[in-house]
Amino acid sequence: MQFAFVSDQGKVRRLNEDAGGVFLHPQGHILAVVADGMGGHRAGDVASSMAVEKIENLWMAAPIISKPTDAEKWLIASIEEINHDLNVHAAQYPDCEGMGTTIVVAICTQEFVTLGNVGDSRGYIVAEKRIRQVTEDHSFVNALVQSGEISESDAEHHPKKNWLLKSLGAKGPVKPSITTITVDHGNIVFLCSDGMSNKITEQRLMEILLDKSPMEERARQLVNIANENGGEDNITIAMVEYLPVGESEEIK
């Protein structure tokens, strides 16, 4: 496996409230994470940074994960613990009152990937020259799409597109969405904040991800596209690629 991570302030925001990273467990598995501090909330950058730092620490101390049920249980417990910590912190520090963040996390093993999310930061899988959004947006407009009240094309331009139904920092359990998928050689796991997903079609995203250039170059090209298309939001990408058959699977 090889991986890349990039986060960019964008062209409009005065502060980058996104955070994330890709972390290698001592036993060889990879955890990728993207968190988007809530725009319009106080201390969004604090919330996203705390969430990423917390899950990195939990990951580095986690027992070896050998099957999907282990990954799912660990991910649910970790996300709920992060939510509790953010809530406690906000209660202790008035400047952080009301802070929140989305989160999308992928545990990548050689056999499977387990994804968990709260909010509208997304996780995709590219396999067999197809791209699929694995995560489900916890957003007002996605709920309207699911109920059949509006179409997916209507959702793209809906005035309440940024309204979230879930975020970390809430009181009580957040109940993250969890999905496990099998993976194979050549697959790509792609996580991003909405500053990226709002600025590119899935077809164009797949074309760039499948390019043979170095991963860092592909990630930077995607950030450039988001900025060229307005760059109104922060842009963050974490990606893990399972190398094709014949290439070394050494972590890069």
Residue by residue, DSSP assigns 181-216 as: EE--TT-EEEEE-HHHHTTS-HHHHHHHHTSSS-HH
**Percent of the chain clearing pLDDT 90 (strictly above):** 75
pLDDT score, position 84: 96
Ranges 40-49, 96-105, 115-124, 243-252: which has the least confidence: 243-252
pLDDT value, residue 170: 83
Cα–Cα dist 137/157, whole Å: 16
Between CA 113 and CA 134 the distance in angstroms is 11
13, 231 contact by CB (below 8 A)? no
pLDDT of 63 strictly over 80: yes
User: Please, which pLDDT band fits residue 22 given cuts at 50, 70 and 90?
Assistant: very high
Buried b (16+ CB within 10 A) or exposed e, 54-78: bbeebbeebeebeebebbbebbbeb
Q: What is the pLDDT of residues 77-119, one digit of tens each?
A: 999 999 999 999 999 988 888 899 999 999 999 999 999 999 9
Q: Within a 10 A sphere around the Cβ of 141, how many other Cβ atoms?
A: 23
Sorted by where each starts, the structural domains of the chain and their CATH numbers stand as: 2-241 (3.60.40.10)
Q: Which residues contact 191 (CB under 8 A, 6 or more apart)?
A: 20, 32, 33, 34, 104, 105, 106, 121, 122, 123, 124, 237, 238, 239
Alpha-carbon dihedral angle through residues 169, 175, 181, 187, given to the nearest 10 degrees: -10
* Residue 9 CA: distances (Å) to CA of 18, 23, 138, 166, 192: 8, 22, 23, 24, 14
Q: Is 158 a residue whose pLDDT tops 90?
A: no
How far apart are alpha carbons 238 and 223 in whole angstroms? 12
Please enumerate in sequence order all residues whose Cβ is within 8 A of that of 98, keeping only pairs 6 or more positions apart, or say none.
41, 42, 90, 169
Name the residue among 244, 202, 239, 233 with its Cα closest to residue 219.
239
3-state secondary structure of 158: coil
Find the largest Cα–Cα distance for the chain: 55
User: What are the two backbone dihedrals, phi and then psi, of residue 2, each rounded to the nearest 5 degrees?
Assistant: -130, 160
CA distances (Å), 216 to each of 240, 241, 252, in order? 11, 12, 12
Q: What is the pLDDT of residues 167-215, one digit of tens each?
A: 999 888 999 999 999 999 999 999 999 999 999 999 999 999 999 999 9
Rounded to the nearest integer, the mean pLDDT of the chain is: 90
146: left (phi over 0), alpha (psi -120 to 50) or beta: alpha
Q: Are the C-beta atoms of 244 and 185 separated by less than 8 Å? A: yes
245 DSSP 8-state letter: T
